[in-house]
């Protein structure tokens, strides 16, 4: 099952991107308080560009619809945003998005269009319910409150970590996972213990990190001690991206040279 996310505006910690409670082509987008319980018109899935670029589609949980720039072209005066059927040909760039970290270090992101230097913008920088969203040129520092966003997973989302020994070197451990909201860098802290329970290797938070994408996948490598891992060794790792945390515990099987999640 795919994971879905709420996309929150920096203007108001209670408001998210909303497709006006309806499905169908050409339905406009707005900011609106997050519904309780969660509703499909406020949940979005990240679908990687099939051509392998860093951009992705933002697909609504309502069905076949994705976030779309109306008319397929950007204007310096603002262009309405809507949900629309995914394009099979034509102006595909108007449906592709990249999450760019705020250089001011707020922890939020610009959602940048592949059409150029344009981002998702709350019209008039107003957090009032029903304020429409538009595509607008990225504003200078200090004026970007209505253009900054952060993603958090739906309560129904699930995470599926896996732990494997890195190919070619049995002393290194590769952590990889899917369904993890990672918009920037992932920090990892870990402890490796021998069968007797003694800690043989340890690192604190932020000592290991790996670039990740908004699509929900990550991968990083933990260096094990120079001595070969012993059968029954355990790994405990905490993985975080500043918004979410994932705890992993695994047992090393010597004969098969592999890890098993506990």
Same domain, 108 and 40: yes
State whether 144 and 168 are in the same domain.
no
**Are 112 and 77 part of one and the same domain?**
yes
d(CA 242, CA 16): 19
Number of Cβ atoms within 10 Å of the Cβ of 92: 17
pLDDT of residue 91: 57
Same domain, 141 and 175: no
From first to last of the 262 residues of the chain, give the pLDDT tens digit: 567 889 999 999 999 999 986 666 788 999 999 999 999 999 998 887 777 777 889 999 988 899 999 999 999 999 999 999 988 765 589 999 988 888 898 878 899 999 999 999 999 999 999 999 999 999 999 999 999 998 887 888 766 666 665 544 555 677 776 655 555 566 778 888 888 766 666 666 554 555 455 555 566 677 766 566 788 888 888 877 665 677 888 888 888 877 888 8
- Cis status of the peptide bond prior to 204, with omega within 30 of 0: no
- Which of 153, 185, 209 is where one domain is finished? 153
- Three-state SS at 182: coil
> Do 139 and 40 fall within a single domain?
yes
Structural domain range at position 23:
5-153
Q: Are residues 85 and 207 in the same domain?
A: no
pLDDT of the residue at 175: 74
Q: Residue 99 gets which letter from DSSP? A: E
Same domain, 112 and 180: no
Closest CA to 47 of 115, 120, 96: 96
Query: Residue 186 in contact with residue 239, Cβ under 8 Å?
Result: yes
Domain edge (last residue) among 95, 120, 153? 153
The angle formed by the CA atoms of residues 163, 169 and 172, to the nearest 5 degrees, is 45
229 to 147, 221, 223: CA distances (angstroms):
49, 15, 11
**What pLDDT score does 207 carry?**
47
Pair 68, 48 in one domain: yes
User: Domains in the chain: how many in total?
Assistant: 2
Per-residue model confidence (pLDDT) at position 167: 44
Give me the pLDDT at residue 153, please: 79
pTM of the predicted protein model? 0.72
CB neighbour burial string for 198-208, b if at least 16 within 10 angstroms, e if fewer: eeebeeeeeeb
- Same-domain status, 108 and 194: no
Q: Are residues 220 and 97 in the same domain?
A: no
Identify the pLDDT of residue 259. 81
- DSSP line for 113-167: ETTSSEEEEEGGG--STTEEEEEEEPPPTTS-GGG-EEEEE-TT---EEEEEEPT
Which CATH number characterizes residue 108's domain?
Answer: 2.80.10.50
């Amino acid at each position: 099952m795919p994971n879905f996310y709420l996309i929150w505006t920096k203007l108001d910690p209670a408001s998210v991107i909303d497709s006006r409670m309806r499905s169908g082509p050409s339905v406009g987008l707005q900011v609106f308080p997050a519904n309780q319980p969660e509703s499909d018109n406020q949940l979005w899935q990240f679908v990687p560009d099939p051509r392998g670029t860093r951009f992705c589609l933002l697909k609504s949980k309502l069905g076949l619809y994705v976030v779309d720039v109306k008319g397929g072209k950007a204007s310096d005066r603002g262009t309405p945003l809507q949900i629309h059927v995914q394009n099979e040909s034509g102006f595909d760039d108007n449906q592709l998005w990249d999450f760019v970290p705020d250089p001011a270090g707020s922890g939020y992101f610009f959602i940048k269009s592949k059409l150029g230097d344009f981002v998702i913008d709350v019209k008039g920088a107003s957090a009032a319910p029903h304020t429409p969203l538009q595509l607008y040129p990225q504003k200078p520092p200090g004026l970007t409150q209505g253009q900054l966003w952060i993603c958090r997973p739906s309560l129904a989302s699930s995470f599926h970590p896996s732990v494997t020994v890195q190919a070619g070197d049995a002393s290194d451990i590769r952590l990889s996972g899917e369904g993890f909201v990672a918009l920037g860098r992932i920090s990892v802290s870990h402890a490796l213990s021998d069968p007797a329970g003694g800690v043989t290797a340890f690192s604190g938070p932020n000592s290991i990190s790996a670039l990740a994408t908004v699509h929900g996948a990550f991968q990083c490598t933990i260096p094990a001690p120079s001595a070969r891992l012993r059968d029954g060794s355990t790994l405990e790792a905490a993985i975080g991206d500043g918004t979410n945390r994932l705890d992993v515990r695994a047992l090393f099987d010597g004969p098969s040279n592999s890890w098993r999640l506990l």
